[in-house]
A = this chain, B = another copy of it.
Amino acid sequence: MKAYIVTVGDEILIGQVIDTNSAWLATQLNLIGCSIIGKMSVADERKSILEGLYQAFAKADIVLMTGGLGPTKDDITKKVIAEFFGVGMQFSQETYTRLNRYFERLGRTPLESHRLQCYMPTNVELLTNRMGTAPGMWFRHGQNKVLISMPGVPYEMKHLMTEHVLPKLKTSFIAKPIAHRTLLTAGRGESMIAKDLQDLEEELPDFIKLSYLPNLGGVRLRLTGMMDDPRLLNYHLDNYANQIKKQLEGWVFGEGESSLEARLGASLVEKVLTIGTAESCTGGKIAAKIVRVPGASRYYLGSIVAYSNKLKAQKLQVADTTIKQYGAVSEETVKEMVNNALGALGVDIAIAISGIAGPQGGTKDKPVGTVHLAIGTQARIINIQLTLGKDREKNIEYATNYALFKTWQFVNGYA
Contacts and interface: CB of A to CB of B under 8 A. Distances in A.
A61 to B, nearest CB: 16
B25 A15 contact: yes
A211 interface: yes
A331 interface: no
A344 B295 CA distance: 28
Interface string A392-404: 1110100000000
A353 to B, nearest CB: 12
B16 A36 contact: no
Contact of A307 (B14, B30, B36, B302): B302
Most chain B CB inside 10 Å of its own CB: which residue of A211, A216, A361, A387: A211
B290 A111 contact: no
Contact of A191 (B26, B71, B314): B71
Interface in A21-64: 22-28, 30, 35-44, 48, 55
A303 interface: yes
B283 A287 contact: yes
Given A73-B201, A311-B301, A14 B42 contact: no
Given A111-B195, A192-B111, A16 B182 contact: yes
B16 A19 contact: no
10 contacts: A12-B22, A15-B22, A16-B213, A73-B194, A282-B288, A284-B303, A294-B360, A297-B308, A303-B307, A304-B315
Chain copies in complex: 2
A142 interface: no
Most chain B CB inside 10 Å of its own CB: which residue of A73, A190, A297, A302: A302
Given A16-B211, A288-B283, A308 B304 contact: no
A74 interface: yes
A117 to B, nearest CB: 9
A261 B160 CA distance: 31
Contact of A291 (B74, B220, B284, B310): B284
A380 interface: no
Chain A, interface residues (CB within 8 Å), range? 35 or more
B48 A38 contact: yes
Contacts of A201: 73
Interface in A321-371: 344-346, 357-361
A259 to B, nearest CB: 11
Nearest to A194: B72
Nearest to A105: B387
A111 B216 CA distance: 20
A294 B14 contact: no
Nearest to A52: B38
Interface string A194-205: 110000010000
Contact of A11 (B222, B288, B360, B387): B222
A153 interface: yes
